[in-house]
């Protein structure tokens, strides 16, 4: 059996972007004269491609209005970044990623962000040396379509039985099931543990030590397959 592959989502899994995504949605809604959405509505759409996510959030918009909504969302993020904003990593992220790398795991990314967002994150200190590949919605169909996850396995030379998808949303877990790989949830992001388990998560970690223990269990099982 080949070395295990851990494919990580970014938003809500490695990076705490809850406040900034909600803020961008509210800014964009005001631009179009819409009611600002609650955080509970916004958290449900995170992980989908941006146009699909905003369509789910405001399904009655025309195509032209949806395009304006997307542009306003992106403009809000540009304003935040130009002002020096950077979403923080969750506590324990780097310790866990570095430990997995030392232990021989292959690491990849599958995210609903666009390629610009991925590049911004890969520019974080230490990240470029950790991940063998990165895959985003701009490369093809977004979550829960399995294309990104299948591309990660292909790029890293991994089989489904040795691959685990780590994410915080039901979209991640359904994508994992669609790719016939294990879905591992985390309890600190956008979707609740119950929502993730209902979508197929084998386990939802409470913190990064709990996640590491779950990944150790997966690696032990994968090694004997």
How is residue 130 written in tokens? 């950790």
Task: Look up 11 and say whether it is catalytic.
Answer: yes
Catalytic residue of the set 11, 27, 172, 207: 11
**CA angle, 136 as apex, 135 and 141 as ends, to 5°?**
110
Taking the C-alpha atoms of residue 162 and residue 222, their distance in angstroms, rounded to an integer, is 5
Question: 133 in helix, strand or coil?
Answer: strand
How is residue 182 written in tokens? 């294990």
As a three-state string, the secondary structure of 80-117 is: HHHCCCCCCECCCHHHHHHHHHHCCCEEEEEECCCHHH
Catalytic residue of the set 9, 145, 194, 216: 9
Ramachandran sector of residue 157 (left: φ over 0; alpha: ψ -120 to 50; beta: rest):
left
Inter-residue contact 183 to 165 (CB < 8 Å): yes
Task: Look up 9 and say whether it is catalytic.
Answer: yes
Beta bridge partners of 106: 5
Report in angstroms the alpha-carbon separations of 210 from 4, 6, 96, 224: 18, 15, 11, 22
Beta bridge partners of 8: 109, 166
Residues labelled catalytic: 9, 11
């Amino acid at each position: 059996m080949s070395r295990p592959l851990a494919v990580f989502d970014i938003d809500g899994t490695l990076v705490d972007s809850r406040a900034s995504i909600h803020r961008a949605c509210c800014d964009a809604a005001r631009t179009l004269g819409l009611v600002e959405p609650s955080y509970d509505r916004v958290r449900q759409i995170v992980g989908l491609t941006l146009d699909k996510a905003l369509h789910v959030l405001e399904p009655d918009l025309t195509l032209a209005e949806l395009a304006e909504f997307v542009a306003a969302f992106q403009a809000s993020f540009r304003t935040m970044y130009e002002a020096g904003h950077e979403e923080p990593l969750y506590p324990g992220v780097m310790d866990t990623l570095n430990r997995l790398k030392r232990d021989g795991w292959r690491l990849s990314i599958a995210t609903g962000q666009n390629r610009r967002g991925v590049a911004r994150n890969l520019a974080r200190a230490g990240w470029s040396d950790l991940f063998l590949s990165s895959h985003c919605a701009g490369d093809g169909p977004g979550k829960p379509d399995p294309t990104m996850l299948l591309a990660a396995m292909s790029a890293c030379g991994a089989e489904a039985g040795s691959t685990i998808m780590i994410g915080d949303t039901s979209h991640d877990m359904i994508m994992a099931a669609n790719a016939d790989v294990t879905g591992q949830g985390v309890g600190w992001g956008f979707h609740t543990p119950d929502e993730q388990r209902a979508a197929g998560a084998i386990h939802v970690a409470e913190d990064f030590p709990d996640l590491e223990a779950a990944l150790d269990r997966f690696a032990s099982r994968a090694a004997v397959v």
